[in-house]
Amino acid sequence: MTKKVRVRYAPSPTGFLHIGGARTALFNYLYAKHHDGTFIVRIEDTDVERNVEGGEASQLDNLRWLGIIPEESIDIGGPYAPYRQMERLSLYKVRGEKLLANGQVYKCFCSTERLQQSREEQKERGVAAPHYDGTCRALTQHQIQEKEAAGEAYTLRMRVPEGTYRFHDLVRGNVAFESKDIGDWVIMKTNGIPTYNFAVALDDYDMDITHVFRGEEHLSNTPKQLMVFEAFGWTPPQYGHMTLIVNEERKKLSKRDETIVQFVSQYRELGFLPEAMFNFFALLGWSPEGEQELLSKEALIEQFDVRRLSKSVSMFDQKKLMWMNNQYIKRLSVDALVELVLPHLQKANVVPVWANEEQLAWVKELALLYQEQLTYGAEIVVLTKHYFEERVNYEEEAQAWLEASETTAIAAALTTALQQATPNSSADWEQLIKTVQQRTGLKGKALFMPIRILLTGQTHGPELPLVMKLLGKELLVKRLAQFSKVNI
Ligand code: GLU
């Protein structure tokens, strides 16, 4: 009988949910869901000094926002609890002691300074990957007792067997590592806290993990984890190491790279849609069989196939993300659209936090007017800035039009028409434009462009009658007066 698929995303709370982490979580999630398996989130918090406040919450909260929802985790519990490594210390301790009793690990009393010195000596000799020199490997029982009696602290080191570690990586195919290049490594630190490679292997075993998808940076850790499985005679999970995410210059993403927004919470704050992000992350290192790239969560779950995981680097293409988000925004219902843009307008202080019904109806119309072009929620503030300013800021391209005598004639006709009418519906506003057309004899672009520039300062925008309706008579009159003053 094949085992039920169980996969995990195991972030260290040393930072907030990053795009790389989100991609890892997502691929594990898709794999689990595709195989009717279980997706769990486990917190690997043993690097105590590097843990950051709020890191854990950011991971869980933003995953949930993305729709990557675990069946087991620290906040919802589950049959394999606890899901936080610092709460599992006794489990690691027992296993460490077992390996020690069998002689598969040994006590190492070398000080940090000694180890540092040995590493430097090896480097000087030209050793590419320096490793432990084996000093404590052959300590006698008597020597060990003496050191312990003297209160010397020790770590536990794996007595790495000679040989080659091979495994079939689900992304890269067959991979091999020589154990002599690894050296005896620490499984338990002097403070009794396990190292990452020891704890992760034990947890994967204890939690019945069947498959592990993670970033390429963990590839060289895999042989160490295989050693732990081997030491206990257990069957390891299957591993798949996903390729790097690179920036547009094809350079490995570094946390300091400012050309890319890197944290999921930042996208959330900017008003990206979780469904779009989910879709976008799924294509970072994986591709569907067909041409269609806009895929719902359900479609992605159905189509997810590890054989289509990419072997080459995945470029984080922000333009594509913008495009994709816009595609999802275009499909939003009016209510969802308002929900997306309203907080941004309120944060920008252009719509009151306690907006009344009339104001909300106005926001609704405004949002609908910009739905087609909106790429993310916060962009509404930039796109609609001119609705909230009294004065027009004329664009560079508008200058030539402003100097034309026809524009002065249109401004005059428009002012008169506005004084004589009280337009309400967009049909009324259309009528008003027609009046100006009749009075000036201008039509088409020669008519619309100056009107748009006079009223908004811009050469492009949504349909003019709708824009005018939202700007309202009062503001339009002021803006026309602004133009006339300049042109007297
Ligand atoms: N805690 C590790 C990390 O955040 C996870 C490694 C793994 O998935 O095995 O990178």
270 Cβ neighbours under 8 A, 6+ residues apart:
261, 376, 377, 378
Domains and CATH numbers, the chain: 6-72+245-315 (3.40.50.620), 88-242 (3.40.50.620), 332-387 (1.10.8.70), 396-486 (1.10.10.350)
Atom of ligand 1 nearest to the CA of 24: 8
pLDDT attached to residue 484: 83
Statement: residue 120 has pLDDT above 90? yes
pLDDT attached to residue 254: 79
Atom of ligand 1 nearest to the CA of 196: 1
Q: Is 12 in the pocket of ligand 1 (CB under 6 A)?
A: yes
Look over the chain and give the mean of its residue pLDDT values, rounded to a whole number.
95
Average pLDDT of span 256-279: 94
Query: Cβ(238)–Cβ(170) under 8 Å?
Result: yes
Q: Is 454 in the pocket of ligand 1 (CB under 6 A)?
A: no
Average pLDDT of span 189-193: 96
pTM check: above 0.85: yes
Average pLDDT of span 205-234: 97
Q: Is 214 in the pocket of ligand 1 (CB under 6 A)?
A: yes
Average pLDDT of span 290-300: 97
Q: Is 200 in the pocket of ligand 1 (CB under 6 A)?
A: yes
290 Cβ neighbours under 8 A, 6+ residues apart:
none
How many Å lie between the centroid of ligand 1 and the Cα of residue 37? 20
pLDDT attached to residue 487: 66
Atom of ligand 1 nearest to the CA of 9: 8
Atom of ligand 1 nearest to the CA of 204: 9
Q: Is 10 in the pocket of ligand 1 (CB under 6 A)?
A: yes
Contacts 24+ apart (CB under 8 A), 361-367: 362/470, 363/338, 364/334, 364/338, 365/466, 365/469, 365/470, 366/341, 366/470, 367/334, 367/337, 367/338, 367/340, 367/341, 367/342
pLDDT attached to residue 443: 94
451 Cβ neighbours under 8 A, 6+ residues apart:
410, 414, 433, 436, 464
How many Å lie between the centroid of ligand 1 and the Cα of residue 286? 20
How many Å lie between the centroid of ligand 1 and the Cα of residue 348? 39
Catalytic position from the list 93, 251, 255, 473: 255
Residue type, 451: I
Ligand 1 atom 6 nearest Cα: 10
pLDDT attached to residue 1: 61
Residue 339: how many other CB atoms lie within 10 Å = 13
How many Å lie between the centroid of ligand 1 and the Cα of residue 218? 7
The structure tokens listed for 290 are 């067909």
pLDDT attached to residue 262: 92
Residues paired with 106 in a beta bridge: 157
147 assigned to active site = no
Q: Is 218 in the pocket of ligand 1 (CB under 6 A)?
A: yes
Q: Work out the pLDDT band at 488, boundaries 50, 70, 90.
A: low
227-240 pLDDT per residue, tens: 999 999 999 999 99
Residues contributing to the annotated binding site: 255
Average pLDDT of span 259-280: 96
Q: Is 329 in the pocket of ligand 1 (CB under 6 A)?
A: no
pLDDT attached to residue 485: 78
Residues contributing to the annotated binding site for ATP: 255
Residue 420, CA distances (Å) to 414, 423, 482 in order: 10, 10, 19
Q: Which of 215, 313, 345, 321 is nearest to 266 (CA)?
A: 321
Q: Is 241 in the pocket of ligand 1 (CB under 6 A)?
A: no
Token look-up 């940076």 returns: 217
The structure tokens listed for 22 are 């989100």
pLDDT attached to residue 204: 98
How many Å lie between the centroid of ligand 1 and the Cα of residue 11? 5
Q: Is 42 in the pocket of ligand 1 (CB under 6 A)?
A: no
Q: Which of 16, 18, 58, 196 to mutate to test the pocket of ligand 1 (most atoms within 8 A of CB)?
A: 196
Q: Which of 11, 12, 10, 16 is nearest to 55 (CA)?
A: 16
pLDDT attached to residue 256: 79
123-154 pLDDT per residue, tens: 999 988 899 999 999 999 999 999 999 999 99
Q: Which of 6, 8, 12, 193 to mutate to test the pocket of ligand 1 (most atoms within 8 A of CB)?
A: 12
Q: Work out the pLDDT band at 336, boundaries 50, 70, 90.
A: very high
